[in-house]
A and B are shown apart, each in its own frame.
Chain A
Amino acid sequence: MSSIAIKGVRKAYAKNAVVHGVDLDIASGEFIVILGPSGCGKSTLLRMIAGLEEITGGEIWIDGKLVNKMEPRERGCAMVFQNYALYPHMTVAENIGYALKVAGVPKAERAARVAATAKVVGLEAFLDRRPAALSGGQRQRVAMGRAIVREPKVFLFDEPLSNLDAKLRVAMRAEIRRLHRRLGATSVFVTHDQTEAMTLGDRLIVMNGGRIEQVGTPAEVYNRPATRFVANFVGSPAMNLMEGEIDRHGIFTLDAARRIAIPNAIESRLVGHKVTLGVRAEAARLVAPEAPGALPATVDFVEELGAGRVVHTDLGGVSFAVAISDPVAPGTGEPVGILIDPADVHLFAQDDGRRIDLAAPQAALDPAA
């Protein structure tokens, strides 16, 4: 078990910067998920921790040791690759035991540890097979086994589940979680899948364009997105965002017919400014068009999700999704009303997209707090 400290780490290929100054502290035994769209630099960051990618600037400390110049093998990390990267000419047992062989562990002890690891990942019956004779899920397990057999200080996962089918992915997700609870090693897991991120991580790091957008627990990231990007990226369906002005009465105005009163906005610095207002699809309610306080909208189309439905509407030229559990959804083109509780509203600055918290009891904005 060990902690990781990342200080101002940058990465550039020639003149092309892909990671711009990342600062991060990972506590010992923590499960960190780095979430972001493809090309945001998350894998690069992971590979810099692993030692597979040279660090252009900044420092990475593992367990209180500066590892910038260390070879991967000296850093004590194990990594699970996206394509598993199993050695095709070795059997499952040899794949799992390779690290031990390199480390010069005696044959008998090696066999015992490989057997024990195979039991943990459920591969006892396949030890003599070559990777080519395994299914995707089994290969994934071999990759996991190869990582855990060395009892590393740090686990690194580079989108390890993205090649599996949906059902297997859920199962492996649970298994990784269980494994982490059992081994307690510090883990860094990179993914672009927000469900994976939300379910696995003790803390999430949301990255975009080579920068960290937000660091927080899954609930924090979901309930109090720090930027417009995070608000839009985390959550399915994505958070509804609309641009408008806050008038001197502290009312957000999309157009004459669609206004939302913002608590504590009167007299605040926001009056007269343009802002982006965000509402989660789950927080809005669908009501009759004539209901008091409802914003008038028309139904665009309805997405059936089985357990619920997402009604996509046209709110004065802005598309707005509302999640409902009601089995009966309105038809396309029907006029509806949307009711938004001002307490569920998120505000983001127009220029840098940062979250704006108005001086108010936090509980009003954050139901989880």
Chain B
Amino acid sequence: MEKRATFSSTTIGLLFVLPMLVLMFVFFYWPSGQALYWAFTLEQPWGGGNTWVGLQNFRQLLADPYYWGAIGRSLVFGLGSTTIAMGLALVLALFTDRELRGHKAYRSVFIWPYAIAAPALGLAFRFILAPEAGFLSLINQVWPGLWNPALDGKDAMIAVIVAFSWKYIGYNFIFFLSALQSIPRSLTEAAAMDGSGPLRRMWDIQLPLLTPTLFFLLVINITESFQDSFGIIDIMTQGGPARATELMVYKIYFDGFKGLDYSGAAAQSIILMLLVILLTIVQFRFIERRVHYK
């Protein structure tokens, strides 16, 4: 018994997908189109007409050292959080894979952080990492002033990276663990028979077979670090101190809604969108095809 329904007329089919299409149009294509339009015009902050300026917004942005600073910080943030989130997740997964008792519990426990909204997470970490009352205030008691994300830009960056990584460790862990479990047991057993110890087996057998997952997560993590970081930054540091944690996504918000430079913010969104699209293309075209073994 086939349970698939087929429609003879395209109209009925279209009607069924219409709600989704409307949603996508209203919340994705329309704003994107609007941003694209704004990026090429000069928009008045209180409304009342705009002027077409062509590429001037982009030219201005690319000549702006603050913008380049935001790009650099985004890269530092992206690489830092991706390294921590993937590295720790991989280690956890490798060790969980060896002793699998209660792995179902691990799975649900580790996925929880991912389900927490970024602002809530940011708030939690703001308390945890608060220099005067938090967990790290102990350090400040021994070495006064050593840790203060409100004053020290480096501390602030570390704080947001830690918070963001914490959210993604669980997500990455799930992927790593299921990839590890799809490696046939007999492969690691064969390696054990070949005289390879547990660590050597991880390095020689498990890691190479994880490369597809590794690259997939790499792209996802970097992409998400560009986009999903906003909530954490906004709650924890608001881009400060002295722009030390002003990432690309936060600068869009700040320039647009605080600085009322709609056009500049729109141009920044377009650049960020292009970057994410580029990464996605890399993901689908290049990685999904190359790094597979049968």
CB of A318 within 8 Å of the partner chain: no
Point out the residues of chain B lying under 8 angstroms from A82, CB to CB. Answer: 186
Chain A: minimal CB distance from B200 (Å): 6
Establish whether residues B192 and A52, one from each chain, have CB atoms under 8 Å apart when the complex forms. Answer: yes
Chain B: minimal CB distance from A188 (Å): 13
CB of A331 within 8 Å of the partner chain: no
Point out the residues of chain B lying under 8 angstroms from A146, CB to CB. Answer: 190, 194
Chain A interface residue number, banded: 20 to 34
CB of B195 within 8 Å of the partner chain: yes
Per-position 1/0 for B255-281, Cβ under 8 A of A: 000000000000000000000000000
Per-position 1/0 for A128-167, Cβ under 8 A of B: 0010100000000000001000100000000000000000
Who on chain A is nearest to B195 by CB?
A73
Establish whether residues A73 and B193, one from each chain, have CB atoms under 8 Å apart when the complex forms. Answer: yes
Establish whether residues A85 and B187, one from each chain, have CB atoms under 8 Å apart when the complex forms. Answer: yes
Stretch at the interface among A97-105, A114-122, A250-258, A274-282: A97-105
Establish whether residues A89 and B196, one from each chain, have CB atoms under 8 Å apart when the complex forms. Answer: no
Who on chain A is nearest to B186 by CB?
A85
Establish whether residues B194 and A102, one from each chain, have CB atoms under 8 Å apart when the complex forms. Answer: yes
CB of B189 within 8 Å of the partner chain: yes
Chain B: minimal CB distance from A198 (Å): 27
Stretch at the interface among B125-133, B146-154, B201-209, B233-241: B201-209
Establish whether residues A132 and B294, one from each chain, have CB atoms under 8 Å apart when the complex forms. Answer: yes
- In chain B, residues 218-257, which have Cβ atoms closer than 8 Å to a Cβ of chain A? none
Who on chain B is nearest to A98 by CB?
B194
Bound CA–CA A68/B208 (angstroms): 31
Bound CA–CA A86/B192 (angstroms): 13
Residue in contact with A89 in the complex, picked from B191, B192, B197, B293, CB distance below 8 Å: B293
Chain B: minimal CB distance from A182 (Å): 21
Point out the residues of chain B lying under 8 angstroms from A83, CB to CB. Answer: 184, 186
Establish whether residues A85 and B190, one from each chain, have CB atoms under 8 Å apart when the complex forms. Answer: yes
Residue in contact with A87 in the complex, picked from B187, B197, B294, CB distance below 8 Å: B187
13 contacts between A and B (CB under 8 A): A50-B193, A51-B192, A52-B193, A73-B193, A73-B197, A79-B190, A82-B186, A87-B190, A89-B293, A102-B195, A103-B195, A130-B293, A146-B194
